[in-house]
Amino acid sequence: MFATRQRPFRRLPYATVALLSAGVLVAGCTSNTPEESSGGGGGNQAASDNDEAGDTVTIGFSAPAADHGWMAGITEAARAEADGYEDVELVVAEGTNDVSTQISQVETFINDGVDAIVLLPFDGAALTPVALQAMEAGIPVINVDREFDSPFAARATILGDNYGMGVSAGTYVCEQLGDQPDAVVAEIAGIDSLPLTQDRSQGFADALADCGLEVSNRVAADFTVEGGEEAASNLLQAAPQIDAIWNHDDDQGVGVLAAIESAGRDEFFMVGGAGSANAMRAIQEGNSVLQATVIYPSTQAADGVRLARLLAQDKALSDLVEVEVPRQIVLNAPVVTADNVDQYIDSAFES
């Protein structure tokens, strides 16, 4: 069982937090024991045996209900990752949007004495106390996507980069329209009350400002197909001329594209968000206004399963000087276009 006592840590500013891509987690999990080097100084001499079977570990997994393509992709990817290891038994709790039910699920994991817990909380603040209980019981918790209120509630946290999504989308728009200072840029956000939506919008505004552009028209939806269609219809009625649209979410983007087609508008290009498979297929086909999408990885919980296995087996990541698993990993938010879509579509979720 993992050690009960957890070392306190100092929260670092954003720029100093280690930003490790999913590729590092996929390809860089290696053993604690580096090979001896014949030369002086550092060197990438780590052995590569982390994927070899070790002691069987039981990992509890809990996430919200799969009522959204991205959330369904989260659970599917976690299951698939666990299936790739003969020494991992993944116990998947039924997805729920009821906080009390999810708390009970984690309490069951604690009582059953699992070796680690991967937890994407419906509400990070509400799940913080039970996550603390797990940590105090010596069970390492991997916090996914929605952060807890206390740094002591998780041994490691894996996050997508919401602010970075906005920056990536805005940078792409700038690359396309930067020589048009009067370009009309529109934004279809998600749920405005959520910090993640606020972060995405702020990153988008900051990136546009760098090339002298700004958001001229903005509406908010609710991450659903229906909400996306309604919000887009309102936007198109209010803005007779648009040069670019950033839609925060590819699930609601299904509705957004339906509204655009219904309105017969095609004078602009659109950038999506999250990176769904259907969005990427549309980008490949090239017969709609959707020209790009920004990744918000649905592989976060799969990475959480890998980290949970490493922690339970007392292993670490490679390419780090310290034999450790980082406290926080923020995944990249790359832009997917027709030029690179083949690199991303195989791991994309279905809307």
The CA-atom distances, in angstroms, between 310 and each of 142, 217, 277 are: 11, 47, 30
Under DSSP, is residue 338 helix (H, G, I), strand (E, B) or coil? coil
Predicted local distance difference test score (pLDDT) of residue 324 = 86
Check whether 21 has a pLDDT greater than 80: no
For residues 50 and 231, the model is more confident at 231
Residue with tokens 């090239």: 286
Query: Of 92 and 43, which is predicted with more confidence?
Result: 92
3-state secondary structure at position 344: coil
User: Given pLDDT bands bounded at 50, 70 and 90, which one contains residue 345?
Assistant: very high
Q: How far apart are CA 145 and CA 167, in angstroms?
A: 18
For domain 162-295, is the CATH number 3.40.50.2300? yes
Q: Are 90 and 309 in contact (CB under 8 A)?
A: no
Give the span between the Cα atoms of 323 and 317, in whole angstroms: 7
Residue 35: pLDDT band (50, 70, 90) is: very low
Each residue of 303-336: pLDDT tens digit?
999 999 999 999 988 777 777 899 999 999 999 9
Residue 323's pLDDT is: 74
**Are the C-beta atoms of residues 208 and 174 closer than 8 Å to each other?**
yes
CATH (residue range 20-160+299-325): 3.40.50.2300
Confidence of residue 13 (pLDDT cuts 50, 70, 90): very low
pTM above 0.75, yes or no: yes
The segment(s) of the chain belonging to CATH 3.40.50.2300 are: 20-160+299-325, 162-295
Among 306, 331, 14, 332, which residue's Cα sits nearest to residue 140? 306
